Amino acid sequence: MSESGLVKTGIKGLDSIFLGGIPRTNVILVQGVTGSGKTLMGLEFIYRGITEYNEPGLVVVFETNPDKIIRDAAGFGWNLDELQQQKKLQIIFTSPQVFDQELRSPDSLLLETASEMGAQRIFVDGIGLLNLGLSARDSVHGGYRELLQQLIESLNRENLTAMLSLEVGITRVSIAAVEMADFLADTVIQLGRERDGRRTRRCLEVLKSRGQDYEAGEHTLQITGSRGLEIFRRVQAPLRANSKQPTSSTMRSVIGVEAVDTLIGGGIFDGSTTMVVGVSGVGKTVLGTQILREGALRQKTRGLLISLDEHPAQIVRNAQTLGLNLEEQVADGTIQILFESPQELDIDSHYARIIQLIEKHDIQRMVIDGMTSYSTAIGEVSVYRDFFHALVAYSKQRLMTTFFNYENPEFLGISSYMPDFPLSSIVDNLILMSLVEINNSLHRCISVVKARGSKHSFDTREFVIGQGGITLVPLEQNLAPELPLQSYSSLLSRAPTRFSLAKRINGAAAVQVKE
Amino acid sequence: MELSVQNCLDGVGISLLSEWDVLIFVHRHGASLTSADQIARLIGYESRVVSDVLDRLEREKLIERSRPSQGVRFYRILTPTDAGRRRCLQQLVSLSESRAGRLLLTKRLKPVPSEIRARTTIG
């Protein structure tokens, strides 16, 4: 459908759920329980119509005092009084019976008002009350259906795009009434308010919309004090197919961190995803910081660091202690840091914020530090998996190079890369960072265990963290009083066995001699 | 304070409690598409009282009414053109937002004769 045939609601996030808008003159039914945001959605539909699309509108209320509507709207910064004075808005208080009668009347005052002000939108709050005016027998035997049909017919005749709110659960025949209204309306939006643990969560689902496709499923709805409603597309919804979408790239970029570039074969493909697995304290965050900083300084790529654990100021300070100055990059916007508390994390809105940041700042390199906090915050395996899949798919679509840090809980030996949520098969590259105990000291080492499409090294290399971040210990350099790392086997098991140097052939351990 | 309230009531041209109740109903509802009967039911007066009051308020140019349609009309508040009268109305509306103010208004306004009054609400 062409853009002109669509009405944009102007409600943040809702038009993209409808893939651009709702077909003009569709009768939109918004149904839900008390407190789910129906009235607010209707008011915002009218307010945005006037202020953003120059489409005057009417609001019809049966129970709510218009004074209170104006007062509540002011809380969102919407000056409805002013719009009424400008004759772009008219809030009408009436009874369901009068409203019904008016819509059928040839000399209807309501429709006359709509015509005089050039109204293109109308919001009727509480059509369930129309049912209350009917006798129980009428209500069950088609009276309510007929009434709704008349209402919809009148609205269509006047070329008004109507939004009607229906409270679920107030009328004596509520189930039948809801089903009837659902059937007659062109577009049905279901709003929900549910308990999620001890918090309340609002959600939105489009049940149907004639004449168009839309994003199905349950999306997150939030009420923001300073703006109004905001809808966040559910993370699980797959990306829409786009012929321009790049599937992969043959461009290989240098990461700028020697430890990674050397082991992975000179750089990684643009748009690839890399999982960095290691125990706490091994240096994953340092590596992530270094990757972003090198990208911003030398590869001129804009970076994003996402953390659920550390505030931006703390991240900058910690990096500073290693001589990785992020202040300048954060100040000039070449590196963005997104911190969000894992407490009551709403994954849909969090994902939307990530996408907004990426698109706003044209991010090309992203580090998520770390995935373990997400698994704790999200709880549900399927949601966590979907979030991860969505990030990977989005990264690839944008050809953005992404690193996920994963804290492996196993300190002594790794039996699996990601024991709680096995997702390592999804990523292109897998880097292991381990602590190895040699004699009485811990050594850090790094290995690339997977790098799709790359001829990478299988060597496990020792690295140190110092000023400037991570650097590999030269192969032949014996910094410690012990033998170098290549003199041992079974490093990843964290129980290394030493070889005799004399038994090595071409640098590789051929014969194992325990000493 | 009381003198000032009386001055405001005189300035606006309101002397009966029923006049004030109907006026404040129309004021609060912005544009009401309704009938005198419906207003009477909502604020607890006899229909006849509300009809008379609506006539009077329209004559006083405090409200405007649309043409009738199927027994209903649009009722809207009119902002007085005279600055003094406008200020008086604003003061009275502000006063009616508190219980103390409403009690003060009740004292200053003449009640509706009991035989035609079902129930009186203020504010």
- pLDDT of residue B79 exceeding 70, the answer is yes
Quick check: B72 and A101 CB within 8 A? yes
Out of A305-309, A480-484, A504-508, which region has the weakest mean confidence (pLDDT)?
A504-508
Rounded to an integer, what distance in angstroms lies between the CA atom of residue A2 and that of residue A208?
Answer: 19
Which site among A63, A87, A93 would you substitute to test the B interface, given the most B Cβ atoms closer than 10 Å to its Cβ?
A: A93
The stretch A137-149 carries a mean pLDDT of 67
User: Is the CA virtual torsion B1, B7, B13, B15 positive or negative?
Assistant: positive
The stretch A62-75 carries a mean pLDDT of 90
**Which of these, B88, B81, B48, lies nearest to B64 by C-alpha position?**
B81
The stretch A105-130 carries a mean pLDDT of 89
For A99, which residue in chain B has the nearest alpha carbon?
B33
Quick check: A66 and B30 CB within 8 A? yes
What is the pLDDT, as a whole number, of residue A413? 66
Quick check: A92 and B32 CB within 8 A? yes
Quick check: B67 and A109 CB within 8 A? yes
- Residue A361 contacts by C-beta under 8 Å, 6 or more apart in sequence? A302, A304, A333, A336
Quick check: A94 and B28 CB within 8 A? no
Q: What is the pLDDT of residues B30-78, one digit of tens each?
A: 899 999 999 998 888 999 999 999 999 999 999 999 999 988 999 999 9
Residues of A with CB under 8 A from a CB of B: 65-67, 70, 84, 90-95, 98-99, 101-102, 105, 107-110, 113
Which residue do the tokens 């030269």 mark?
Answer: A474
Token digits for B85? 């009268």
Residue A91 per-residue DSSP state: E
What is the pLDDT, as a whole number, of residue A372? 85
What would you report as the CA-atom Rg of chain A, rounded to the nearest whole angstrom? 30
Rounded to an integer, what distance in angstroms lies between the CA atom of residue A70 and that of residue A99?
Answer: 21
- pLDDT of residue B122 exceeding 50, the answer is no
- pLDDT of residue A510 exceeding 50, the answer is no
Rounded to an integer, what distance in angstroms lies between the CA atom of residue A301 and that of residue A321?
Answer: 23
Give the other-Cβ count within 10 Å of A374's Cβ: 24
Integer CA distances (angstroms), A92 to A242, A362, A458, B33, B90, in order: 45, 46, 74, 7, 22
Q: Give A196's pLDDT tier (boundaries 50, 70, 90).
A: confident
**Which of these, A393, A398, A354, lies nearest to A374 by C-alpha position?**
A354
B73 in reach of chain A (CB within 8 A):
yes
Size of interface A-B (CB pairs under 8 A): 57
Quick check: B29 and A105 CB within 8 A? no
- pLDDT of residue A247 exceeding 60, the answer is no
Quick check: B74 and A109 CB within 8 A? yes
The stretch B87-115 carries a mean pLDDT of 84
Give the other-Cβ count within 10 Å of A210's Cβ: 12
- pLDDT of residue B24 exceeding 60, the answer is yes
The per-residue pLDDT of chain A, averaged, comes to: 84
Nearest 5°: CA angle at A368, between A367 and A370? 135
Out of A62-66, A81-85, A159-163, which region has the weakest mean confidence (pLDDT)?
A62-66
- pLDDT of residue A373 exceeding 80, the answer is yes
Residue A231's H or E segment, with its range, is strand A228-232
Out of A286-290, A301-305, A423-427, B79-83, which region has the weakest mean confidence (pLDDT)?
A423-427
Contact A279, A411 (CB under 8 A): yes
- pLDDT of residue A162 exceeding 80, the answer is yes
Residues of B in contact with A114 (CB under 8 A): none
Nearest Cα of chain A lies from the Cα of B110 at a distance, in angstroms, of 27
The stretch A375-381 carries a mean pLDDT of 84
Q: What is the pLDDT of residues A434-454, one digit of tens each?
A: 888 776 678 899 999 988 888
- pLDDT of residue A248 exceeding 70, the answer is no
- pLDDT of residue A136 exceeding 70, the answer is no
Residues of A in contact with B31 (CB under 8 A): 66, 90-93, 113
What is the pLDDT, as a whole number, of residue A509? 45
Quick check: B69 and A66 CB within 8 A? no
The pTM of the full predicted model, rounded to 2 decimals, is 0.76
B119 in reach of chain A (CB within 8 A):
no
Q: A418 or A326: which carries more pLDDT confidence? A: A326
Which residue do the tokens 């009768």 mark?
Answer: A27
Residue A100 burial by Cβ neighbours in a 10 Å radius (0-12, 13-18, 19+): buried
The stretch A15-44 carries a mean pLDDT of 94
Contact B32, B75 (CB under 8 A): yes
Quick check: A95 and B70 CB within 8 A? no
Pick from A94, A102, A105: which is nearest to B32 by CB?
Answer: A94
Nearest Cα of chain B lies from the Cα of A159 at a distance, in angstroms, of 21
Rounded to an integer, what distance in angstroms lies between the CA atom of residue A345 and that of residue B27?
Answer: 45
Residues of B in contact with A94 (CB under 8 A): 32-34, 72
Nearest Cα of chain B lies from the Cα of A60 at a distance, in angstroms, of 10
Q: A485 or A307: which carries more pLDDT confidence? A: A307
Helix (H, G, I), strand (E, B) or coil at B70: coil
- pLDDT of residue A105 exceeding 90, the answer is no
Nearest Cα of chain B lies from the Cα of A354 at a distance, in angstroms, of 44
Dihedral over alpha carbons B44, B47, B52, B54 (to 10 degrees): 70
Pick from A93, A99, A110: which is nearest to B30 by CB?
Answer: A93
Contact A308, A345 (CB under 8 A): yes
What is the pLDDT, as a whole number, of residue B9? 93
Residues of A in contact with B66 (CB under 8 A): 109
Which site among A68, A70, A91, A98 would you substitute to test the B interface, given the most B Cβ atoms closer than 10 Å to its Cβ?
A: A98
Q: Give A499's pLDDT tier (boundaries 50, 70, 90).
A: low
Token digits for B69? 């349609």
Pick from B29, B69, B73: which is nearest to A93 by CB?
Answer: B29
Helix (H, G, I), strand (E, B) or coil at A385: helix
- pLDDT of residue A514 exceeding 60, the answer is no
Contact A424, A433 (CB under 8 A): no
The percentage of chain B sitting over the pLDDT mark of 90, rounded to a whole number, equals 58
Residues of B in contact with A113 (CB under 8 A): 31, 74
Rounded to an integer, what distance in angstroms lies between the CA atom of residue A32 and that of residue A116?
Answer: 32
Rounded to an integer, what distance in angstroms lies between the CA atom of residue A438 and that of residue B13?
Answer: 98
What is the pLDDT, as a whole number, of residue A257? 84
Q: A128 or A352: which carries more pLDDT confidence? A: A352
Residues in a beta bridge with A208: A188
Residues of B in contact with A67 (CB under 8 A): 28-30
For B41, which residue in chain A has the nearest alpha carbon?
A95
Q: Give A142's pLDDT tier (boundaries 50, 70, 90).
A: low
Pairing of strands A199-209, A335-339: unpaired
Pick from B32, B66, B70: which is nearest to A101 by CB?
Answer: B70
Give the other-Cβ count within 10 Å of A192's Cβ: 17
Token digits for B28? 């609060």
What is the pLDDT, as a whole number, of residue B114? 56
Q: A159 or A365: which carries more pLDDT confidence? A: A365
Q: What is the pLDDT of residues A323-368, one digit of tens each?
A: 999 999 999 999 999 999 988 889 999 999 999 999 999 999 999 9
